[in-house]
């Protein structure tokens, strides 16, 4: 147990530091804080131009969606980075339990997602027609944390596929953009075709965004508890799937000797 906790916390911390070894602050600020500002403005202005929904709709949708960015790109970069620096084989040669090994890498990314999301809400409040009362913030923080978790769980699936695929960054890009299309980030869910709504209900973010919008409209956390639990359940399902995929692709990778292929 102690060893697993050590792998979870220290392994995760070292991996996160390594991530920022190639992800310098001069990379972090424009990518994780700068780009989100313009993403929110871009969609809010399209909304104004197309005369669809209010600024609040776009601020909440995009701010919650941005918590996905850290989790999905971060996990892709973690596995892709290990492959690029040729440390993936030594990592997988260790006897460490895979569950804390990879979940530990996910934890700092969840925190990162929360920071990006909070910053996006702040920017939305500062630059657009969006108001938030102090009493709404704790409930919103819970929803953001749960959404960041579920998105990072999806990021774990992407990372697991990175054990098999040579170019995991393409997949990460595709997943982030697909969430933007399906999860009601900028499009009212009820205007999407039925099959897209079905897909959306099985993806992380959808329920988190819906809960966050309800809270911004005055609902309490208990009012949206069903949505929050669903979001959490979806995240747990993706985390479980990721664990199985990591196991499967690790075996595959050993058989095919493909861990060092770049």
Partner 1 sequence: MKTLRLIWVGWKFHVKSLTLSGFFILTSVLQPIIFASVAYFMFQAGAREGTLLYVALGAGMMGIWSSTLFGSGGAIQWQRWQGTLEYCIAVPPPFLLVIVPLTLATATIGLYSLTATLVWGRLFFDVPLHVAHPVAFIVALPVTVVGLGLLGLILASTFIMYRNANALSNLLEYPVWLATGLLVSLSLLPVWVGPISWVLAPTWGINALRDAAIAGNAWPEIGMCLLLSAVYLVIGYFALQHFERLARERATLTLT
Q: Which residues bind partner 1 (CB under 8 A)?
A: 24, 26-31, 34-35, 38-39, 41-42, 45-53, 167, 169-170, 173-174, 177-178, 180-181, 186-188, 191-192
Q: How far is the CB of 155 from partner 1 (least distance, A)?
A: 18
Closer residue to partner 1 (CB): 180 or 216: 180
Residue 205 backbone zone (phi > 0: left; psi -120 to 50: alpha; other: beta): left
Q: How far is the CB of 115 from partner 1 (least distance, A)?
A: 17
Q: How far is the CB of 170 from partner 1 (least distance, A)?
A: 5
Closer residue to partner 1 (CB): 192 or 221: 192
Closer residue to partner 1 (CB): 145 or 187: 187
Q: How far is the CB of 34 from partner 1 (least distance, A)?
A: 5
Closer residue to partner 1 (CB): 83 or 101: 83
Q: How far is the CB of 120 from partner 1 (least distance, A)?
A: 13
Q: Which of 49, 16, 69 is CA-nearest to residue 185? A: 69
Contacts of 34 (CB under 8 A, 6+ apart): none
Residue 120 near residue 63, CB atoms below 8 Å: yes
Closer residue to partner 1 (CB): 47 or 208: 47
Q: How far is the CB of 20 from partner 1 (least distance, A)?
A: 12
Q: How far is the CB of 101 from partner 1 (least distance, A)?
A: 28
CA distance 189 to 187: 6
DSSP the chain: -HHHHHIIIIIHHHHHHHHHHHS-HHHHIIIIIIHHHHHHHHHHHHHHHHT-S-HHHHHHHHHHHHHHHHHHHHHHHHHHHHHHTT-HHHHHHS---HHHHHHHHHHHHHHHHHHHHHHHHHHHHHHSS----GGGHHHHHHHHHHHHHHHHHHHHHHHHHTTT-S-HHHHHHHHHHHHHHHSSSSS-GGGS-HHHHHHHTTSSSHHHHHHHHHHHTT--TTTTHHHHHHHHHHHHHHHHHHHHHHHHHHHHHHHHT-TT--
Closer residue to partner 1 (CB): 41 or 88: 41
Closer residue to partner 1 (CB): 1 or 50: 50
């Amino acid at each position: 147990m102690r060893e697993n906790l050590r792998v979870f916390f220290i392994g995760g911390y070292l991996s996160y530091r390594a991530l920022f070894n190639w992800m310098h602050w001069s990379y972090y600020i424009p990518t994780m804080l700068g780009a989100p500002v313009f993403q929110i403005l871009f969609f809010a202005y399209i909304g104004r131009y197309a005369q669809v929904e209010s600024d609040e709709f776009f601020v909440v949708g995009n701010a919650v969606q941005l918590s996905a960015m850290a989790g999905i790109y971060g996990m892709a970069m973690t596995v892709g980075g290990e492959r690029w620096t040729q440390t993936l084989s030594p990592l997988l040669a260790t006897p460490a339990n895979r569950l804390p090994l990879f979940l530990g890498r996910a934890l700092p990314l969840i925190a990162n997602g929360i920071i990006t999301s909070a910053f996006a809400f702040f920017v939305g409040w500062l630059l657009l027609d969006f108001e938030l009362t102090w009493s709404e913030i704790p409930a919103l923080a819970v929803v953001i944390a749960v959404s960041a978790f579920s998105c990072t769980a999806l990021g774990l699936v992407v990372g697991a596929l990175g054990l098999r695929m040579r170019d995991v960054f393409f997949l990460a890009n595709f997943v982030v953009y697909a969430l933007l299309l399906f999860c009601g980030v900028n499009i009212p869910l009820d205007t999407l075709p039925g099959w897209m709504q079905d897909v959306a209900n099985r993806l992380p973010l959808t329920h988190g965004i819906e809960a966050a919008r309800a809270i911004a409209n005055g609902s309490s956390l208990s009012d949206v508890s069903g949505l929050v639990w669903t979001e959490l359940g979806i995240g747990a399902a993706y985390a479980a799937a990721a664990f199985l995929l990591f196991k499967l692709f690790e075996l595959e990778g050993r058989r095919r000797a493909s861990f060092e292929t770049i």
